[in-house]
Amino acid sequence: MIDEPLLRVSALSKFYGSRVGCDNVTFDLWPGEVLAVVGESGSGKTTLLNCLSTRLLPSSGTASYRMRDGQFRELYRMSEAERRFLMRTDWGFVHQNPADGLRMTVSAGANVGERLMAVGDRHYGKIRATAVDWLSRVEIEEDRIDDEPRAFSGGMRQRLQIARNLVTGPRLVFMDEPTGGLDVSVQARLLDLLRGLVTDLGLAAIVVTHDLAVARLLSQRMMVMKDGRVVESGLTDRVLDDPRAPYTQLLVSSILQV
Amino acid sequence: MPTPLVVSDVAKSFTMHLRDGIKLPVVAGVSFSIKAGECTVLGGPSGAGKSSILKMLYGNYAVDEGQIIVTHEDGLIDLAHASPRTVLAVRRQTIGYVSQFLRTVPRVSALDVVAEPLVERGEEREAARVRARSLLAQLNLPEKLWMLPPATFSGGEQQRVNIARGFITEHPILLLDEPTASLDATNRDVVIELIAAKKAAGVALLGIFHDHEVREAVADRVIDVTAFAPGKLAA
């Protein structure tokens, strides 16, 4: 195992005029590690995720990513084309709403195959076979491969989005409320699937969620955000079993018990 | 006998920010060590801080003061100040833990819940399942339950899954938080046998057992946790 982080984030801040998006966020993410970012809506967690995935440029601070050749590259100094390439190959982004991450009017198979073509695959038979394989890994029947995601249920769309993201073998996946808006039974299935894939593939992931149970299940480490700042961070079960910041104590004590 | 874990002058309190910041001291001046091949038992009434001590050793609770030195991969690590990544590595390789209650994951079968810690240590999934089957059989969990997620199991069945999960690996240190609380006599005896086997293999065990019979059977040494009551420190 390489003993270097995959992503180094230092003093990252994003201001919208005088409003704070996220303020002075610093952390390292290691290969194979899942980091949950939790907090209420407006806490800055999505702003942070968008800055990290370079969908948004921060006001100040740095983030460097260890490329496949082992060299660290400063994300915000890359060219737009280099960032897009990273996004298409080495990274994935799972949106809360699958419609934001899928092409709704092309077939499920094409949604998965498109990412493969983006990394240079041209052999139709191979692309289709890989697509079938990935659809089965996310538990979508092979006979749905030619259907458009418009005809899929919400849970299926989300699973398709995951397949589309993982097919290129990314090393880092960003997830924005991946189980938000799903029924609990569908959510359980998706969580189980994500957990398995993350472990089997050794993915690093940054998962934004307001659901502490989702964070507990998926992540090893956790950052709690409030008003754009990280108020507490640490091992996920330590933060949840022994919350120290007033805001974390409030969050944890507000969970409904079933 | 090697001493793989040394606790010195550990203190823990909770600050309840939602209750006007009142501070609840739990333990102070906790100092002891555990030895390989022995089962050390934390004794004392409920609320004395026994579980809190185990949770600090496993990294579930933060430590206010003091040191927890563990031998991990030929080096020494202070768990009280270790990074999350280090704590995870220690949990994977060095310290195992049988919690009081099983935390279930939807859709994962009992067999895989038990096999998981071995898989995390790099064992082949099928080999890990073979080992899991033999442990579940030893603990008399009916075979028809093995492929089901344990969420709907009875308390005793869940606890046996939890015990199997904790005992499946060869961690040099094993923490046990009342592993026999909801077991019948037959299965209690199985756990006593499992603990004896771990001792013979040179594992250092640290446990909480309210069951007098089990404690008599397994304990080499009892540490009275009331000695670590926060008020006593000044005396």
CB contact under 8 A, B17 and A246: yes
Write down the pLDDT at residue A19.
Answer: 93
How close is the nearest chain A Cα to the Cα of B17, in Å?
Answer: 5
How many beta carbons lie within 10 A of that of residue B149, not counting itself?
A: 18
Pick from A33, A221, A249: CB nearest B18? A249
Write down the pLDDT at residue A137.
Answer: 87
ipTM for this model: 0.91
CB contact under 8 A, A195 and B105: yes
Pick from B18, B87, B105: CB nearest A192? B105
Its pTM stands at 0.92
pLDDT tens per residue, range B73-82: 989 999 999 9
Write down the pLDDT at residue A3.
Answer: 81
Query: Largest alpha-carbon pair distance within chain B?
Result: 57
Nearest Cα residue in chain B from A254: B18
Contacts of A125 (CB under 8 A, 6+ apart): none
What mean pLDDT, rounded, does chain B reach?
93
CB contact under 8 A, B107 and A244: no
Which is higher by pLDDT, B228 or A257? B228
Strand order in the sheet with B65-72: B22-34, B5-16, B65-72, B75-78
Instruction: Confirm if B34 and B54 have CB atoms less than 8 A apart.
Output: no
Write down the pLDDT at residue A254.
Answer: 86
How close is the nearest chain B Cα to the Cα of A96, in Å?
Answer: 21
d(Cα A54, Cα A73) in Å, to the nearest integer? 13
| Token pair listed for A251 | 């969050």
Is B202 exposed, middle or buried, given 0-12, 13-18 or 19+ CB atoms closer than 10 A?
A: middle
CB contact under 8 A, A238 and B107: no
Residues of A with CB under 8 A from a CB of B: 30, 33, 188-189, 191-192, 195, 217, 220-221, 234-235, 237-238, 241-242, 244-246, 249-250, 253
Instruction: Confirm if B177 and B95 have CB atoms less than 8 A apart.
Output: no
Residue A23: pLDDT over 70:
yes
d(Cα B164, Cα B115) in Å, to the nearest integer? 9
Best CA proximity match to B163, nearest among B86, B120, B100, B229: B100
CB contact under 8 A, B18 and A192: no
Write down the pLDDT at residue A163.
Answer: 92
Residue B92: pLDDT over 70:
yes
* DSSP of B60-123: SS--SEEEEEEEETTEEEEGGG--HHHHHHHHHHTEEEE-SS----TT--HHHHHHHHHHHTT-
Best CA proximity match to B219, nearest among B186, B195, B187: B195
Q: Choosing among B60, B91, B125, B152, which should be mutated to test the A contact, i.e. which has the most A CBs within 10 A?
A: B60
The angle at the Cα of A33, spanning A235 to B117, to the nearest 5 degrees, equals: 80
Residue A236: pLDDT over 50:
yes
Write down the pLDDT at residue A60.
Answer: 97
Residue B1: pLDDT over 80:
no
Contacts of B128 (CB under 8 A, 6+ apart): B115, B116, B118, B119, B168
Which is higher by pLDDT, B190 or B182? B190
Q: Which residues of chain A does B15 touch, with a Cβ-Cβ cutoff of 8 Å?
A: 244
pLDDT tens per residue, range A103-149: 999 999 999 999 888 888 888 999 999 999 999 988 899 899 999 99
CB contact under 8 A, B87 and A191: no
How many beta carbons lie within 10 A of that of residue A183, not counting itself?
A: 12
Write down the pLDDT at residue B140.
Answer: 96
pLDDT tens per residue, range B210-234: 889 999 999 999 999 999 998 765 4
CB contact under 8 A, B55 and A242: yes
pLDDT tens per residue, range A28-53: 999 989 999 999 888 999 999 999 99
How close is the nearest chain B Cα to the Cα of A33, in Å?
Answer: 9
DSSP strand pairing (B95-98 vs B173-177)? parallel
**Given pLDDT bands bounded at 50, 70 and 90, which one contains residue A258?**
low
| Token pair listed for A31 | 């290969």
**In angstroms, what CA-CA distances link A130 with A31, A113, A120, B232, B235?**
25, 8, 14, 66, 71
Most confident of A5-19, A80-94, A196-210: A5-19
How close is the nearest chain A Cα to the Cα of B193, in Å?
Answer: 31
DSSP H helices in A67-205: 80-89, 98-101, 108-118, 124-137, 154-166, 184-201
DSSP strand pairing (B5-16 vs B95-98)? unpaired
Is A57 exposed, middle or buried, given 0-12, 13-18 or 19+ CB atoms closer than 10 A?
A: exposed
**Given pLDDT bands bounded at 50, 70 and 90, which one contains residue A175?**
very high
d(Cα A140, Cα A107) in Å, to the nearest integer? 13
CB contact under 8 A, A238 and B59: yes
Q: Mean pLDDT throughout A207-224?
A: 93
3-state DSSP assignment of residue B12: strand
DSSP strand pairing (A221-226 vs A7-16)? unpaired
pLDDT tens per residue, range B130-154: 999 999 999 999 999 999 999 899 9
Q: Choosing among B18, B22, B54, which should be mutated to test the A contact, i.e. which has the most A CBs within 10 A?
A: B18
How many beta carbons lie within 10 A of that of residue A73, not counting itself?
A: 15
- Residue A204 phi/psi, 5-degree rounding, is -95, 145
**In angstroms, what CA-CA distances link A49 with A22, A46, A66, A206, A211?**
10, 5, 18, 8, 16
pLDDT above 90 as % of chain A: 72
What mean pLDDT, rounded, does chain A reach?
91
How many beta carbons lie within 10 A of that of residue B175, not counting itself?
A: 25
Pick from B15, B18, B62: CB nearest A238? B62
> How many residues are given for chain B?
235
Residue B54: pLDDT over 90:
yes
Write down the pLDDT at residue A2.
Answer: 58
Write down the pLDDT at residue B235.
Answer: 42
How close is the nearest chain A Cα to the Cα of B29, in Å?
Answer: 20
CB contact under 8 A, A189 and B18: no
CB contact under 8 A, B85 and A30: yes
CB contact under 8 A, B84 and A238: yes
d(Cα A92, Cα A102) in Å, to the nearest integer? 12
How close is the nearest chain B Cα to the Cα of A123, in Å?
Answer: 33
CB contact under 8 A, A249 and B88: no
pLDDT tens per residue, range A177-196: 998 878 877 888 888 888 88
CB contact under 8 A, A220 and B88: yes
Contacts of A100 (CB under 8 A, 6+ apart): none
pLDDT above 70 as % of chain A: 98
Write down the pLDDT at residue A28.
Answer: 97
| Token pair listed for B137 | 């059989």
Write down the pLDDT at residue B232.
Answer: 62
Write down the pLDDT at residue A183.
Answer: 80
Q: Mean pLDDT throughout B47-71?
A: 96
Torsion of CA B161, B162, B167, B170, to 10 degrees: 120
Nearest Cα residue in chain B from A199: B120
